[in-house]
């Protein structure tokens, strides 16, 4: 009888989805020992039932019988005493239990070595990976329930920095291995093999896995656009089996942190003091304290509320060997934590694939429609305004046009804006639609050794913004503006055609895989805008039809278009599973560079050595040990469509006399017409280790990357008269080095399984060259100098506070010149860095670095029976950040509010770091002093999640396979000494890393979710 290779046969049956029950019956029928019946359920790490797991009874090392789990992951068979039960399934770790100790519900862990990793135009076994790739798997995503793709990766991988903008419906910024480029350090997003974008409105619930390709060799196949790394997203596909329905619903309550500001009473006290001091000092124009308004407004309470984010999702999937399908629908509704903001999104996804003989086809469609009610201003504005707006001003004031309170020269002399008035008088809404379609055909030729694929993907986007500006004022000194309505649209089409050829061949111990292909990618976007003054009103109601408005009408329109053609090839070769080699080459042509400079070639090579497979290697506790190294070059041309062309501005008009208007044309934006490809060369050395029965994993990397001919829209001198933004230039070279370490442990003790994954990384950058042959470049707060990191803090250094007139008089330079002769006790003492006896621009100095010394992330999860718990955190350490909120408050030099517990210097109580307060005199509150810098280190537990799955036996009765409840707390615990709202903020550009200009803080939330499968 040939039945002795039983395990294999059952496993094959599982793969082929043959009638497992029949097999089970057959086998149980042929043996007749006295035995116990064992029943149980097998699930994966998400608690999803695993059908088709082979459950084999071993006696004396031989398989004697076995069954396969059914569609609900359940099995039942008789086990003789003294036998062992072995559970195995492709891609999962095999587990064995002695009869009598078999857990009723068993979780099979993914076999991390067999797991496949998507590397672009193909996959590779995780164990054979030669580059630096981090993976976020489905189970990590499922439990997190984040709003968008990028946030779902937060803290899960090393070397990846993610900053969320905090606003409903808006994306997050992502950076891989720091700043390697000056132009958009956002990585390339590949969704199911097509170029996507993090903005795609992709439903996180549809994602199966995310791979982050960090080094040149991994990303090389994507060549020109991959210089900042690649994020490959694979969405869920149908699996063979009967219809499976999954669904979930969640509700998230969230809120935004608030400044701890003074109330009106306290504010008046300090404000009066600042005015009295000003009068004493004879500050011009100050003759009396303010006759304060009698409001007591907490502007934050007026604008902030508890947000509610609801998310509903349902997916249907299934199929057989010939055809598979996956259909999902999603609805999200977000009532923002900031009043007047909100977001609503509805979308669906359909994908199917089929195969007959050598021909395979598939398609993937998704559609998303969203509507955002947004703030009509930059995000930083609202937060700085909470500080700038005195609490004495009432929200409403009937005496003003429109009825909102705001500044008054004698009562609250400020140009701050009433946020309630602004938002109520000025509405803006943004609707967006994405349609994304991808169709492919695949021919498997010659026994699957050779295949070719033609892939066409198309994305269509339509966005519209409409605004209504009603009549009324929100700030002091505002003119009598007409009401207006505005409507603008942006739409784009993106087409990608790709043809690839795949070759897989194994001869003896030689495994060869080769890919070659070309792609053509084109993008066209149109913008239109119109606005009209004086919309028709009926009573209080504004008619928002442009046709019915009566005032001046304006219209604008433009388009951009670009294309990229690429030829590429990759060869993977391995010998005896020990020696691995990967070669990649690519040739790209872009329309964004001038003719003659459009084409460039990029190549990379990787080698790997699996020591653990060497005959001499004999360390029993190590399962797998691999050394790898790679070197390669990538390119970037991620600049504007026509940055190399000098164009004319035809907008200038001038009045010749009366209302006689003439048309002008001028060259106003200067350009560099000799732009070339930016190139980034990376060397990467790493080691991967799996040990202790695959319970322990470790991977360590060192990398050095050097970017040359960096493309940058570098600000140029104002004397050039340039207008229209900084021209793009090949602006120098930058070097990044870093170490990344990822460690993981996962194990189980009986029913209790747990895993701990941590990562730490360092990143250092250095400027090698700057554009236009300069050696140094400054902003108002930072310096970027060749040989040094970008954007170092360059500020006036403060040396505390003058406590007495004697101290002022004795603060002299080497020649005895009094350095701050006009200072008084209570004023800031500035460091006379150049020793010339006065405080002037040459006294600015490097006072610290905005770059974290260390980045870290930690992810712990555990499960016991139906309960699961996970906690996730990340942090950045050892950097200085600029607290823009404090600088905005500015010590009562203007009438801005300040923070509770504020303690300025007084003669009576001089023990403070805060200077005396004086209105209308900015000597102590200048923005470019180091008093606003703070240690920005933080550790944040971003996610704490607790879940419970109802016992299978219970829900089976109602026809369900799985029901899970969960509670997730986000950003609830943060350890930091930073006194700003949030140590994790969106910075304001590469030269201002660490500049927190009253950035929108990250929300904190508690989320309740339920998910089910049947």
Partner 1 sequence: MKRYIVCFACVLAALSVFSSCGEKYIDIENGNSLNTSMYWKTEEDMNTNLIAVYNMFYRQGTWTRNIYTQLNGMADDGVSYAGWTELNEWTKFKYTNYNFAEGQAKIWREHWTAVNRANQVLDHIDDPNIVFANEQDRLDIKGQALWLRAFYYYYMVALWDNIPLLLHTSSAGDQPANSTPDAIFEEMENNLVEAIGYLPLTRTKERARPTKGAAYGLLARYYAQHHKWSDAAKCLEWIVEGEGKSVYSLEPKWEDNFNNKKENNVESLYEIQFSLVNYVGFDQTDNYRDANAQLGTQIEVNQSPKGTGWNNVEGNRWIVEYFKREKTTDGKNDPRLFYTCWYDQATTDFPEHGDQLIYGKTWSDGYSDSGNRVFIKKYSTDVMPLYYWNDNNFRSIRLADMLLLYAEVLNEINKGPNAKAVEYVNRVRTRVGLPTLAESNYYDGAKIASDYAAFKEHIKIERALETAFECIRWIDLKRWGFDDATLKDLQKRDVDYNYFVLGKHERLPLPQRECDNNPNLEQNPNY
CB of 564 to partner 1, least distance (A): 7
Pick 717 or 814: Cβ nearer partner 1: 717
Interface segment toward partner 1; rule CB under 8 A; list 148-156, 332-340, 552-560, 905-913: 552-560
Q: What's the Cα-to-Cα distance from 453 to each of 180, 194, 238, rounded to whole Å?
A: 33, 13, 20
Question: Is residue 32 at the binding interface for partner 1, with CB under 8 A as the rule?
Answer: no
CA-CA distance, 961 to 306, in Å (whole number)?
35
Q: Are 154 and 856 in contact (CB under 8 A)?
A: no
Question: Is residue 398 at the binding interface for partner 1, with CB under 8 A as the rule?
Answer: no
CA dihedral for 46, 47, 48, 51, sign (positive or negative): positive
Q: Which of 642, 696, 833, 965 binds partner 1 (CB under 8 A)?
A: 642
Give the CB-side neighbour count of residue 5, counting CA atoms within 13 A.
6
CA dihedral for 796, 802, 808, 813, sign (positive or negative): negative
Q: Which of 101, 287, 399, 618 binds partner 1 (CB under 8 A)?
A: 287
CB of 188 to partner 1, least distance (A): 18
Pick 282 or 357: Cβ nearer partner 1: 282
Pick 34 or 284: Cβ nearer partner 1: 284
Q: Which of residues 780-839 bind partner 1 (CB under 8 A)?
A: 780, 838
Pick 459 or 532: Cβ nearer partner 1: 532
Pick 659 or 908: Cβ nearer partner 1: 659
CB of 282 to partner 1, least distance (A): 7
Interface segment toward partner 1; rule CB under 8 A; list 213-221, 293-301, 518-526, 697-705: 518-526
Question: Is residue 361 at the binding interface for partner 1, with CB under 8 A as the rule?
Answer: no
Pick 86 or 785: Cβ nearer partner 1: 785
Interface segment toward partner 1; rule CB under 8 A; list 174-182, 283-291, 309-317, 570-578: 283-291
For 114-127, b where at least 16 C-beta lie within 10 A, e where not — what string? ebebbbbbbebebb
Among 924, 927, 932, which residue's Cα sits nearest to residue 823? 924
Q: Which of 101, 547, 558, 618 binds partner 1 (CB under 8 A)?
A: 558
Question: Is residue 505 at the binding interface for partner 1, with CB under 8 A as the rule?
Answer: no
Among 1008, 922, 924, which residue's Cα sits nearest to residue 966? 1008
Q: What's the Cα-to-Cα distance from 771 to each of 108, 524, 707, 776, rounded to whole Å?
A: 56, 30, 13, 9
CB of 848 to partner 1, least distance (A): 19
Give the CB-side neighbour count of residue 778, counting CA atoms within 13 A.
11
Q: Which of 279, 514, 571, 670 binds partner 1 (CB under 8 A)?
A: 670
Q: Which of residues 703-762 bind partner 1 (CB under 8 A)?
A: 715-724, 727, 729
CA-CA distance, 497 to 520, in Å (whole number)?
5
Site string for partner 1, 401-440 (x = CB under 8 A): x-----xxxx--xxx-------------------------
Question: Is residue 488 at the binding interface for partner 1, with CB under 8 A as the rule?
Answer: no
Question: Is residue 285 at the binding interface for partner 1, with CB under 8 A as the rule?
Answer: yes
Phi, psi for 965 (deg, rounded to 5): -110, 145
Question: Is residue 663 at the binding interface for partner 1, with CB under 8 A as the rule?
Answer: yes
Phi, psi for 735 (deg, rounded to 5): -125, 135
Interface segment toward partner 1; rule CB under 8 A; list 225-233, 363-371, 391-399, 637-645: 637-645
With CB under 8 A as the rule, give the number of residues binding partner 1.
112
Question: Is residue 550 at the binding interface for partner 1, with CB under 8 A as the rule?
Answer: no
Question: Is residue 520 at the binding interface for partner 1, with CB under 8 A as the rule?
Answer: yes
Pick 413 or 942: Cβ nearer partner 1: 413
Interface segment toward partner 1; rule CB under 8 A; list 378-386, 513-521, 798-806, 933-941: 513-521
CA-CA distance, 68 to 14, in Å (whole number)?
7
Among 594, 593, 598, 591, which residue's Cα sits nearest to residue 562? 591
CA-CA distance, 190 to 459, in Å (whole number)?
13
Q: Are 332 and 431 in contact (CB under 8 A)?
A: no
Q: Which of 237, 470, 492, 598 binds partner 1 (CB under 8 A)?
A: 598
Pick 395 or 641: Cβ nearer partner 1: 641
Q: Which of residues 191-210 bind partner 1 (CB under 8 A)?
A: none
CB of 478 to partner 1, least distance (A): 8
Q: Which of residues 453-482 bind partner 1 (CB under 8 A)?
A: 469, 476-477, 479-482
Interface segment toward partner 1; rule CB under 8 A; list 591-599, 619-627, 952-960, 976-984: 591-599
The two three-digit tokens of residue 294, written as one number: 């009698």
Interface segment toward partner 1; rule CB under 8 A; list 11-19, 360-368, 668-676, 740-748: 668-676
Pick 619 or 645: Cβ nearer partner 1: 645
Q: Which of 1, 34, 507, 656 binds partner 1 (CB under 8 A)?
A: 656
Q: Are 896 and 387 in contact (CB under 8 A)?
A: yes
Question: Is residue 840 at the binding interface for partner 1, with CB under 8 A as the rule?
Answer: yes
Pairing assessment for the beta strands 450-469 and 123-125 based on DSSP bridges: unpaired
Helix (H) or strand (E) holding 419: helix 419-425
Q: Which of 113, 514, 565, 687 binds partner 1 (CB under 8 A)?
A: 565
Pick 273 or 332: Cβ nearer partner 1: 273
Q: What's the Cα-to-Cα distance from 51 to each of 242, 476, 618, 722, 984, rounded to whole Å?
A: 11, 69, 37, 67, 43
Pick 441 or 758: Cβ nearer partner 1: 441
Pick 18 or 670: Cβ nearer partner 1: 670
Among 154, 171, 166, which residue's Cα sits nearest to residue 432? 171
Interface segment toward partner 1; rule CB under 8 A; list 217-225, 226-234, 585-593, 881-889: 585-593
Angle at 349 between CA 348 and CA 355, to 5 degrees: 155
CB of 707 to partner 1, least distance (A): 20
Pick 516 or 972: Cβ nearer partner 1: 516
CA-CA distance, 315 to 224, in Å (whole number)?
36
Interface segment toward partner 1; rule CB under 8 A; list 235-243, 282-290, 859-867, 877-885: 282-290
The two three-digit tokens of residue 565, written as one number: 């053609």
CA dihedral for 470, 472, 473, 474, sign (positive or negative): negative
Among 7, 2, 9, which residue's Cα sits nearest to residue 88? 7
Give the CB-side neighbour count of residue 854, counting CA atoms within 13 A.
12
Interface segment toward partner 1; rule CB under 8 A; list 156-164, 263-271, 284-292, 361-369: 284-292
Which DSSP state fits 51? T
Question: Is residue 82 at the binding interface for partner 1, with CB under 8 A as the rule?
Answer: no
Contacts of 36 (CB under 8 A, 6+ apart): 78, 79, 81, 99, 100
Q: What's the Cα-to-Cα distance from 492 to each of 12, 172, 555, rounded to whole Å?
A: 48, 21, 19
Question: Is residue 923 at the binding interface for partner 1, with CB under 8 A as the rule?
Answer: yes
Q: What's the Cα-to-Cα distance from 366 to each of 65, 145, 351, rounded to whole Å?
A: 46, 20, 8
Interface segment toward partner 1; rule CB under 8 A; list 5-13, 29-37, 106-114, 553-561: 553-561
Q: What's the Cα-to-Cα distance from 384 to each of 395, 836, 898, 985, rounded to whole Å?
A: 17, 36, 11, 14
Pick 510 or 922: Cβ nearer partner 1: 922
| 20-30 and 6-16 helices, crossing angle to 10° | 160
Site string for partner 1, 609-628 (x = CB under 8 A): --------------------
Interface segment toward partner 1; rule CB under 8 A; list 60-68, 626-634, 659-667, 975-983: 659-667
Hey, what's the torsion of the CAs at 847, 852, 854, 857, to 10 degrees?
150
Q: Are 1012 and 962 in contact (CB under 8 A)?
A: yes
């Amino acid at each position: 009888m040939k039945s002795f290779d039983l395990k294999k046969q059952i496993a094959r049956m599982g793969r082929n989805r043959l009638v497992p029950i029949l097999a089970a019956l057959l086998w149980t029928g042929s043996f007749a020992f006295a035995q116990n019946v064992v029943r149980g359920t097998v699930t994966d790490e998400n608690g999803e039932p695993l059908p088709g797991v082979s459950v084999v009874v071993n006696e004396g090392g031989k398989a004697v019988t076995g069954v396969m789990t059914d569609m609900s992951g359940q099995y039942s068979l008789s086990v003789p005493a003294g036998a062992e039960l072995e559970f195995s399934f492709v891609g999962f770790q095999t587990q064995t239990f002695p009869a009598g100790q078999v857990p009723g519900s068993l979780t099979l862990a993914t076999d991390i070595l067999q797991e496949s990793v998507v590397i672009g135009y193909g996959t590779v076994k995780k164990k054979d990976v030669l580059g630096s790739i981090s993976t976020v798997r489905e189970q990590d995503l499922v439990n997190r329930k984040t709003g968008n793709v990028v946030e779902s990766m937060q803290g899960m991988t090393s070397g990846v920095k993610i900053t969320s903008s905090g606003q409903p419906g808006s994306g997050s910024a992502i950076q891989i291995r720091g700043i390697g480029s000056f132009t958009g350090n956002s990585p390339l997003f590949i969704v199911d093999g097509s170029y996507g974008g993090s903005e795609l409105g992709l439903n996180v619930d549809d994602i199966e896995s995310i791979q982050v390709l960090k080094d040149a060799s991994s990303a090389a196949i994507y060549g020109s656009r991959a210089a900042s790394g690649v994020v490959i997203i694979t969405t869920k596909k149908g699996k063979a089996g009967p219809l499976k329905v999954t669904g979930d619903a969640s509700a998230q309550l969230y809120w935004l942190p608030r400044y701890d500001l003074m109330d009106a009473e306290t504010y008046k006290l300090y404000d009066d003091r600042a005015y009295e001091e000003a009068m004493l000092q004879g500050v011009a124009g100050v003759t009396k304290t303010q006759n304060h308004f009698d409001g007591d407004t907490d502007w934050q309470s007026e604008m902030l509320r508890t947000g509610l984010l609801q998310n509903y999702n349902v997916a249907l999937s299934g199929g057989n060997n010939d055809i598979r399908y996956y259909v999902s629908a999603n609805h999200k509704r977000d009532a923002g934590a900031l009043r007047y903001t909100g977001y609503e999104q509805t979308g669906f996804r359909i994908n199917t694939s089929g195969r007959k003989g050598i021909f395979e086809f598939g398609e993937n469609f998704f559609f998303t429609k969203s509507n955002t009610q947004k703030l009509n201003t930059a995000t930083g504005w609202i937060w700085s305004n909470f500080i700038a707006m005195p609490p004495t001003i009432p929200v409403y004031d009937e005496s003003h046009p429109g009825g909102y309170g705001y500044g008054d020269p004698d009562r609250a002399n400020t140009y701050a804006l009433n946020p309630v008035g602004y938002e109520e008088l000025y509405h803006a809404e943004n609707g967006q639609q994405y349609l994304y379609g991808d169709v492919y055909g695949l021919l498997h030729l010659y026994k699957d050794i050779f295949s070719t694929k033609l892939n066409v993907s198309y994305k269509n986007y339509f966005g519209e913004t409409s605004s209504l500006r009603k009549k009324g004022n929100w700030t002091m000194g505002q003119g009598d503006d007409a009401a207006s309505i505005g409507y603008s649209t942006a739409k784009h089409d993106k087409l990608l055609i790709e043809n690839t050829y795949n070759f897989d061949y194994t001869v003896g111990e030689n495994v060869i895989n080769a890919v070659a292909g070309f792609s053509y990618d084109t993008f066209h976007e149109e913008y239109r805008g119109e606005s009209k003054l004086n919309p028709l009103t009926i009573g209080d109601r504004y008619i928002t039809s442009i046709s019915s408005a009566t005032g001046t009408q304006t219209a604008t329109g433009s388009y951009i278009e670009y294309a990229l053609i690429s030829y590429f090839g990759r060869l993977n070769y391995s010998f005896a599973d020990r020696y691995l080699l990967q070669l990649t080459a690519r040739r790209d042509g872009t329309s964004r560079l001038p003719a003659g400079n459009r084409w460039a070639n990029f190549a990379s090579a990787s080698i790997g050595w699996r020591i653990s497979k060497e005959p001499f290697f004999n360390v029993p506790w190590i399962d797998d040990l691999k050394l790898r190294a790679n070197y390669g070059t990538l390119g970037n041309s991620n600049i504007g469509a026509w940055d190399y062309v000098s164009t004319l501005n035809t907008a200038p008009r001038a009045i010749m006399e009366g209302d006689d208007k003439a048309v002008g044309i001028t060259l106003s934006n200067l350009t560099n017409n000799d732009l070339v490809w930016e190139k980034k060369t990376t060397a990467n050395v790493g080691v991967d280790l799996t040990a202790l029965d695959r319970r322990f994993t470790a991977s360590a990397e060192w990398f050095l990357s050097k970017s040359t001919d960096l493309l940058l829209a570098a600000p140029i001198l104002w004397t050039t008269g340039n207008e229209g933004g900084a021209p793009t230039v090949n602006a120098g070279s930058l070097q990044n080095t870093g170490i990344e370490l990822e460690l993981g442990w996962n194990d189980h003790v009986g029913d209790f399984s747990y895993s701990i994954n941590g990562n730490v990384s360092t990143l250092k950058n250095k400027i090698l060259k700057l554009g236009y042959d300069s050696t140094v470049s400054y902003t108002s707060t930072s310096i970027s100098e060749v040989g040094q990191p970008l954007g170092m803090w360059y500020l006036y250094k403060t040396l505390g506070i003058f406590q007495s007139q004697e101290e002022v008089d004795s603060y002299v330079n080497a020649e005895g010149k009094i350095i701050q002769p006009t200072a008084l006790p209570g004023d800031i003492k500035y460091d006379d860095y150049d020793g010339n006896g006065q405080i002037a621009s040459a006294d600015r100095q490097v006072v610290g670095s905005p770059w974290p010394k260390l980045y870290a992330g930690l992810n712990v999860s555990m499960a016991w029976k139906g309960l699961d718990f996970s906690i996730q955190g990340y942090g950045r350490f050892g950097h200085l950040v600029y607290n823009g909120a404090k600088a905005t408050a500015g010590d009562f030099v203007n009438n801005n509010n300040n923070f509770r517990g504020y303690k300025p210097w007084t003669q009576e109580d001089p023990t403070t770091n805060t200077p005396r307060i004086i209105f209308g005199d900015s000597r102590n509150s200048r923005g470019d002093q180091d008093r606003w810098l703070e240690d920005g280190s933080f550790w944040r537990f971003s996610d704490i999640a607790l879940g419970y799955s109802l016992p299978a036996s219970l829900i089976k009765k109602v026809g369900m396979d799985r029901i899970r409840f969960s509670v997730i707390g986000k950003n609830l615990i943060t350890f930091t000494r930073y006194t700003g709202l949030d140590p994790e903020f969106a910075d304001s550009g590469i030269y201002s890393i660490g500049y927190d200009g009253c950035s929108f803080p990250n929300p904190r939330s508690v989320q309740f979710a339920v998910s089910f499968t049947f």
